[in-house]
Structure 1
Amino acid sequence: MSAVVASTIGLGVPVADAAPPTAAGCTDISVPVSLGDGPRTSHISGRYCTPAGHPGTTLQVLVPGATYDRSYWDFPGFGDRYSYVKYASRAGKATLAIDPIGVGKSSKPPGWQVSAPTAARTLHEVISAARTGRLGHRWDKIVLVGHSFGSLTAMLEAGTYHDVDGLLVSGASHAPGPGGILQIQSSVRPALSDPRTAKSVPAGDYTYLSVPGARAKAFYAPRDSDPAVVAADEASRVAGTIGVLATIPVFIPTTFGIKVPVLIANGRADKVFCAQGGGGSLTDCTNAQTLYRSERTFFPVADLSTYVLPGSGHSLNLALNNRAFFARALQWADAI
């Protein structure tokens, strides 16, 4: 992998900083970003992995859902069985798994400033850095991959900035079910009141939120999950913000103008976004064909493909049969 080095632009503003790469070809990076039209005073943190030798021409930028950080894409332990990053790396594919603004090792501005448009704007700046070689390699093709709220952010980014070559939406649809949403909302509390997240958010900021105890009932299908994984997932929960929750619907109009290839992948038993999950969604996830019919209207000019992972709940990466989804995702990305 080409070493990722600090570089400058304009008046000495750092563009990307990185720790030395590991033997696995991965490095932690930090990309300066702006929350508005001003200077880049914030940053997006990520884990950047490229295969040995020639890094190729395609980079997948991976965006986790709310209450997750980048570890959703590189879930630790369990022999790497639940790591999409490791699966992609073994297949010779490059990835950049990010912590969205306000999450993980990325900057944490006041929570009311962390909205869906802010998340999309800062993601756009990360993509620009990858396009222009500021991560150590100039990527000709960028595929944006999201999960849950990360998928909504990805759709908003792709529909607003038109700077990616493909969009993979997982764990999302245009018809969330009220029952599934209620299972999450009933557990929401200030992150400062949750011992797991209290020390990870700005002091005194009650606009950062945590959702303890919601994962098992809202994100998993019991027959397609390992209780030990569910417990590890719950223990690794992170905070989200009230600004994100208040601006979720803004992504909807932007999907009508997305022209690049799109793959929508859902777990059939997703309680939040699929009718079969029992949460009241109107999205039919019986199979790929029914999911296509449910979502086609919202992507009228995109080359739309769909995929349903049988038995899986909301968090496809953490389902027992996740490898089928991983394989389909890489196959689709290679073909665009």
Structure 2
Amino acid sequence: MSVLPKARGAALAAAVLLSLPLTTVSAADAEPGSCSDVTVPAAMAPGLPQDQTIYGRLCLPPGPAPDVLQILVHGASYDHTYWDFPGFDGRYSYTRAQHSAGYATLAVDQLGVGRSSHPPSALVTQLAGANALHDVVTAARAGTLGPAFGRVALVGHSFGSLTAWLEAATYSDVDGVLASGASHSLGALALAQLGPHIRPARLDPVTAPRVPVTDLGYLSIPGARAVVFYHLPSTDPAVIEQDEATRSEVPAGVAATIPVYIPATLGIRVPVLEVNGVEDKPFCAQGGGASLTDCASDATLHASEAPFFPPEAQLETTVIPGAGHNLNLHRNAGTFFDRAVRWFQDHFPPH
């Protein structure tokens, strides 16, 4: 039974579905072929002090630093490790696939998650997350992470895709957006299935150490992953077990601003690729979560999503057969990784 009132449960479940000083890394710290921890000063809104910190894992492929940087934005209840899932011989690492193709990546912890700052949870809205991400983009272009990247693209998963769309539409500072596990219709049944699992992160021993002691607005959803995020016939049970054991906190403030991204995508003026698993329960009708987005094929997904983007977005859509919400963590993750590489090579060659 949820420890939250039912009236709040649906709104908070929606939030789950959709996650100073100079930077602490120098060019010498982030040499090609290596990965480095970085921190970026960030503000909660335009004009406010940059008194928050966004953590990221910057990885550069061997050889000369590429001109293109992919900033990887995790979904709710995840952190930066979603993109480089530990173990399993790297089979579920988006980061490794992109490095093999010559691309640099920066996997961040969103505001209020993991090693990034944890301001009051009510203030961690979609708008605040987008502004913090804008500060990361600015730092990447300025060279304060090491190399100065001439082209920057956002790559999102689930709620991270929504944040990426909002950032790109609001600040017009990126060259492209790849969105995975997201659409413009969020299924009510998927939300309902999440609701009973939601509890304050302080009451979950996995997430409790990372959140402020008195802030019960940071949430956790233990036990929900297999139910909502996976197509079980296409998933290694050991992956779900590890995923569940490494869950992250979710700031509840995103609930109040979830609808903001829906009209915002009409302001995106750079190429967009949207990739969904046909069995995605939260965001595809075929997943059975009551979404209205038709993911039966690439063409039907395009027809569902095209009204939300302008012609300048050059929207491309891809449906991955047999995959659920967490595209990175299904047995056929390589199909998604290969599609992402082809899109980047078509639009943004690494050098």
Normalising by structure 1, what TM-score? Answer: 0.94
Distance of aligned partners of 1:256 and 1:23 in 2 relative to their CA distance in 1, 3 Å threshold: closer
Structure 1 residue identity aligned to 2:94? Y
Check conservation: 2:302, 2:316, Cα contact below 8 A: yes
> Which residue among 6, 17, 23 is the counterpart of 1:16?
23
Mapping for residues 225-264 of structure 1, pairs under 5 Å = 225-264=235-274
Deviation at 1:22, TM superposition (A): 7.9
Query: Which residue is equivalent to 1:6?
Result: none
| Alpha-carbon displacement from aligned partner over 1:50-71 (angstroms, at most 9, x marks no partner) | 1122111110000000000000
SS of match in other structure, 2:219: strand
> Which residue among 131, 135, 139 is the counterpart of 2:149?
139
Query: Which residue is equivalent to 1:311?
Result: 322
Query: Which residue is equivalent to 1:335?
Result: 346
- Residue 171, structure 1, aligned to residue 181, structure 2: yes
Deviation at 1:23, TM superposition (A): 8.6
The CA distance in 2 between the partners of 1:82 and 1:43, in whole Å, is 28
Query: Which residue is equivalent to 1:29?
Result: 38
Name the structure with the higher helix share. Answer: 2
Structure 1 residue identity aligned to 2:24? D
SS of match in other structure, 1:28: strand
Check conservation: 1:68, 1:237, Cα contact below 8 A: yes
Check conservation: 1:133, 1:139, Cα contact below 8 A: yes
Query: Which residue is equivalent to 2:78?
Result: 68
Structure 2 residue identity aligned to 1:328? R
In structure 2, runs of 5+ residues without a counterpart are: 1-19
Query: Which residue is equivalent to 2:125?
Result: 115
Check conservation: 1:264, 1:305, Cα contact below 8 A: yes
- Residue 321, structure 1, aligned to residue 323, structure 2: no
Mapping for residues 53-64 of structure 1, pairs under 5 Å = 53-64=63-74
Structure 2 residue identity aligned to 1:320? R
Residue correspondences, number: 324
SS of match in other structure, 2:177: strand
Deviation at 1:158, TM superposition (A): 0.4
Structure 1 residue identity aligned to 2:294? D
Check conservation: 2:30, 2:146, Cα contact below 8 A: no
SS of match in other structure, 1:232: helix
| Alpha-carbon displacement from aligned partner over 1:236-266 (angstroms, at most 9, x marks no partner) | 1010011012211111111011111100000
SS of match in other structure, 1:104: coil
Check conservation: 1:143, 1:333, Cα contact below 8 A: no
SS of match in other structure, 1:282: coil
The CA distance in 2 between the partners of 1:243 and 1:298, in whole Å, is 24
Identity of aligned residues (%): 52
The alignment yields a C-alpha RMSD, in angstroms, of 1.3
SS of match in other structure, 2:138: helix
| Alpha-carbon displacement from aligned partner over 1:60-89 (angstroms, at most 9, x marks no partner) | 000000000000001001111101111211
Deviation at 1:321, TM superposition (A): 0.3
The CA distance in 1 between the partners of 2:109 and 2:52, in whole Å, is 13
Query: Which residue is equivalent to 1:276?
Result: 286
Deviation at 1:328, TM superposition (A): 0.5
Structure 1 residue identity aligned to 2:315? L
Check conservation: 1:15, 1:129, Cα contact below 8 A: no
The CA distance in 2 between the partners of 1:164 and 1:225, in whole Å, is 33
SS of match in other structure, 1:327: helix
Query: Which residue is equivalent to 1:4?
Result: none
> Which residue among 194, 197, 214 is the counterpart of 1:187?
197
Check conservation: 2:80, 2:109, Cα contact below 8 A: yes
Distance of aligned partners of 1:199 and 1:294 in 2 relative to their CA distance in 1, 3 Å threshold: same
| Alpha-carbon displacement from aligned partner over 1:25-59 (angstroms, at most 9, x marks no partner) | 11000001111323211110000011122111110
The CA distance in 2 between the partners of 1:32 and 1:101, in whole Å, is 11
Q: After the TM superposition, list the runs of 4 or more consecutive aligned residues in structure 1 that deviate by more than 6 angstroms.
A: none
Query: Which residue is equivalent to 2:49?
Result: 39
Structure 1 residue identity aligned to 2:346? A
Q: Which one scores higher on RCO, CA 8 angstroms, separation ≥ 6? A: 2
SS of match in other structure, 1:297: helix
Check conservation: 2:23, 2:39, Cα contact below 8 A: yes
Normalising by structure 2, what TM-score? Answer: 0.90
Deviation at 1:113, TM superposition (A): 1.2
The CA distance in 2 between the partners of 1:259 and 1:212, in whole Å, is 38
Query: Which residue is equivalent to 1:149?
Result: 159
> Which residue among 267, 275, 282 is the counterpart of 1:265?
275
